Structure 1
């Protein structure tokens, strides 16, 4: 009966044995079910991209929605309502200062019987992976430092004159540890940019194997998909510190997804307040 929904406890047992390295034949015998049924639920588990601990944290109703009835029949009304919200959620998350918790609050206000925050994030991540799949990147310690400017500026006030001065916001993040450095500087000109990069190296206490900037003029004088031309002063800076410059490809934000994420966190924790 490969197409029959089995108990949630048995599904947990199947996934637990799989993560412990048991074979499908052994799992089927131990769980007293067919190999096709085991394969079906394991395929759903592997497609989800989540760990056993994350899936096991769901209650039986949520696990049934995810591995049970949702595989046999159309989603429940509650699930459909949430899924219809996700395209709007995905669009709103691109706005400055907006995060998942804010959007979940709006969703829960409209649907009081809806999912709690942790399950909302769980299903959104699953939906996002399905409609816009990405490749996981493993970062080595000390390998790359990603640098960029925030898209929106901040302003400071001169205490003596009261003049409001607009400033650029520089952001840098290490790939492996995700240690982040943020500094407000006068402009995106090469002098300010290189000074901010140098301050970052002093802050992290070392020099990475490579610095990954966007294609801003202070770093790249001529962008190219294969061999961009570096700004000479910035190249001299890299030579002085014994590192390499690896500019991100133009219009490829995923090449520097970490620093893009750091900018979003900064918008939420600095700009929005």
Structure 2
């Protein structure tokens, strides 16, 4: 199933269909479905941010999830084995082999074949190397360990918490130490990272730190972008897209508010400081 939250967020930001297809890796049909849902239901960025994953999924029922017994089920275990043996082996090649094999059952089309392989990958916890575009994303988090800082005036040592941002395409890293991990420090760290990089990424991907996201209800898997963090994104015109809970390998697509101030990371263009 397409990542409709990311698609709708980018639509609300005013991105073109082609830009969204390239960014999310979806089809034009997926973008059209998201556009129709936004228009029919009158959704804005705030409403999208408040919507849980379950509620969002209910807007896009996936009829393809029902696998018909009349179709020849692909041998995806063998496909994965071929991919491991040959890094240049593609799904398109495997689909052509699948279609060419003799069977009395019907064959899946390429789009449905890819969809089924995606379900197989999730079910079997398979991972793949992600390829990033320049200026597309910035990953952020608090580093796991604190660092001691000597306070010469007070004659004591204090803890410093390290904020880390990275551009995945280039591996360009920005770090800054703070005396706490409160919301003000978190937002200021982003502002300083944008200034350091001299531009704004299209999306910012935080891990699920409490200064970035929160749960509406204790124990709820769905997390929502904190208001002050979202207002900062409003000012700079970027999208906050948290990594999925308990899915650290996502780190490498909840709310976005469009802004005419946005500048791409592919060149200089820092927007004025945020004071919200």
Q: Report the TM-score when normalising by structure 2.
A: 0.45
Bigger Rg over Cα: 1
Could you say which structure has the greater relative contact order, defined with CA pairs below 8 angstroms and 6 or more residues apart? 2
Q: Report the TM-score when normalising by structure 1.
A: 0.45
